[in-house]
């Protein structure tokens, strides 16, 4: 038996301006540019082993065989890499998250970034990061951003152009993301189906038209380390994206009543002079962005909200990387 094997780690990311809707659904070409923050410690560790003796791919996610749509997505990703390297060997994939899946904290971003890196390393493909970002995007759009650490911009354009690039490393600015977990159940409509619906909303085109100016202002806010300016953009785009979701056909409502209770808390903190803002991905959970000095008070305030099941405290994280520790 011959084997080609590698392990890689990648982190989740939170979008400050969102990727929502594609110009090409199959290739995951985003309708607009998005900017994210890579999150420590939300990590996926993935081992890929291409083997001469396997009759089919064997996929284990968090200790279990995944549901068939997820397994199919992973298999298609392995096929991409088999195509790139010219091998026909099937693979074993073992992947472990240190955070709960399906609660709107983008497990697919960390997952496909780690899978991409592990496949490339196992098959000894010497790919530059922008190529890794492109292949990660083919697995999941937001995964293109998780190849990089810190503050990251995902471009749109052609298949070659729609890759992520780093804006600032993780040490540039210590913004914390306190994730108020309001539900742990799997979301009913996965983002990939939501992206397909985006263009059915009359607000989609209006949002996409606003994004270049919003990204320009967000980049200024990041360069100036200005949380109030960042918050204005992040909140506005989260609300615009959810307005698109809610007005799609069929309508998509990811919020729970509890979502608004956290939004209200954040507005209250701001009135009290505490620097904080919120953003919400394709799920009910609220991400509260703040500065280090406010973390204890905001964490305590979120924990005191009876609707909040858990609070995950995240800070800027590093790029995806190949790791050497054994993992089975």
Query: Judged by CB, which is closer to ligand DP6: 154, or 323?
Result: 154
Q: Binding to ligand DP6 by residue 47, rule CB under 6 A? A: no
Instruction: Give 149-191 as a DSSP string.
Output: -SEEEE--SSTTT--EEEEE-TTS---EEEEEE---SPPSS-H
Query: Judged by CB, which is closer to ligand DP6: 142, or 285?
Result: 142
d(CA 260, CA 177): 18
Taking CB under 6 A as the binding criterion, the range among 47-55, 83-91, 187-195, 224-232 that sits at the site for ligand DP6 is 187-195
Taking CB under 6 A as the binding criterion, the range among 44-52, 190-198, 202-210, 262-270 that sits at the site for ligand DP6 is 190-198
| Shortest reach from residue 44's CB to ligand DP6, in Å | 13
| Shortest reach from residue 19's CB to ligand DP6, in Å | 3
What is the torsion angle, in degrees rounded to the nearest 10, for the CA atoms of residue 11, residue 17, residue 20 and residue 26? Answer: -50
Which H or E element spans position 210? Answer: helix 204-224
**C-beta of residue 36 within 8 angstroms of C-beta of residue 151:** yes
Q: Binding to ligand DP6 by residue 19, rule CB under 6 A? A: yes
β-bridge partners, 180: 286, 311
Three-state SS for 13?
Answer: strand
Q: Binding to ligand DP6 by residue 192, rule CB under 6 A? A: yes
Taking CB under 6 A as the binding criterion, the range among 15-23, 201-209, 213-221, 286-294 that sits at the site for ligand DP6 is 15-23
Residue from 28, 134, 242, 287 that binds ligand DP6 (CB under 6 A)?
28
Exposed/middle/buried for residue 313 (C-beta within 10 Å: 0-12, 13-18, 19+): middle
d(CA 132, CA 144): 8
The structure tokens listed for 78 are 């392995």
Q: Binding to ligand DP6 by residue 201, rule CB under 6 A? A: no
- Draw the binding track, 70-109, toward ligand DP6 (x: CB under 6 A; -: no contact): ------------------------------------x-xx
**C-beta of residue 41 within 8 angstroms of C-beta of residue 85:** no
| Shortest reach from residue 242's CB to ligand DP6, in Å | 9
The structure tokens listed for 317 are 């994280």
d(CA 49, CA 92): 5
Q: Binding to ligand DP6 by residue 34, rule CB under 6 A? A: yes
Residue 41 preceded by cis peptide, ω within 30: yes
Residue from 32, 46, 49, 140 that binds ligand DP6 (CB under 6 A)?
140
Q: Binding to ligand DP6 by residue 141, rule CB under 6 A? A: yes
d(CA 89, CA 79): 10
Residue from 4, 11, 18, 287 that binds ligand DP6 (CB under 6 A)?
18
Residues 151-180 that bind ligand DP6 (CB under 6 A): none
- Draw the binding track, 274-303, toward ligand DP6 (x: CB under 6 A; -: no contact): -------xx---------------------
# residues contacting ligand DP6 (CB under 6 A) = 17
Q: Binding to ligand DP6 by residue 311, rule CB under 6 A? A: no
Query: Judged by CB, which is closer to ligand DP6: 31, or 106?
Result: 106
**C-beta of residue 51 within 8 angstroms of C-beta of residue 89:** yes
The footprint of ligand DP6 (CB under 6 A) covers 15, 18-20, 28, 34, 106, 108-109, 140-142, 191-192, 195, 281-282
């Amino acid at each position: 038996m011959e084997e080609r094997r590698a392990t890689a780690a990648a982190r989740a990311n939170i979008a400050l301006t969102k990727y929502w809707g594609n110009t090409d659904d199959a290739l995951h070409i985003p309708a607009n540019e998005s900017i994210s923050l890579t999150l420590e410690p939300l990590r996926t560790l993935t081992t890929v082993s291409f083997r001469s003796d396997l009759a089919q791919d064997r996929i284990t996610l968090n200790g279990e065989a995944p549901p068939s749509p997820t397994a199919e997505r992973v298999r298609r990703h392995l096929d991409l890499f088999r195509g790139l390297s010219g091998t026909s060997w099937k693979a074993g994939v073992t992947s472990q998250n240190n955070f709960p899946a399906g609660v709107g904290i983008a497990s697919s971003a960390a997952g496909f970034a780690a899978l991409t890196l592990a496949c490339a390393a196992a098959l000894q493909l010497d790919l530059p990061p922008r190529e890794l970002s492109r292949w990660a995007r083919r697995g999941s759009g937001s995964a293109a951003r998780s190849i990089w650490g810190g503050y990251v911009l995902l471009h749109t354009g052609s298949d070659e152009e729609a890759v992520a690039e780093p804006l600032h490393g993780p040490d540039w600015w210590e913004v914390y993301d306190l994730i108020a977990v309001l539900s742990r159940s799997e979301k009913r409509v996965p983002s990939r189906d939501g992206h397909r619906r985006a263009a059915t909303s009359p607000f989609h085109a209006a949002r996409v038209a606003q994004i270049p100016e919003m990204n320009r202002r967000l980049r200024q806010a990041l360069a100036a380390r200005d949380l109030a300016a960042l918050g204005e953009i992040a909140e506005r785009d989260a609300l615009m994206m959810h307005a698109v979701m809610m007005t799609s056909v069929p309508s998509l409502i990811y919020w729970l009543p509890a979502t608004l209770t956290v939004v209200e808390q954040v507005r209250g903190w701001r009135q009290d002079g505490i620097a904080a803002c919120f953003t919400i991905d394709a799920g009910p959970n609220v991400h509260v962005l703040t500065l280090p000095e406010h973390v204890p008070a905001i964490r305590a305030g979120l924990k005191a909200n009876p609707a909040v099941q858990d609070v995950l405290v995240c800070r800027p994280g590093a790029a995806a990387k190949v790791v050497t520790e054994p993992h089975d």
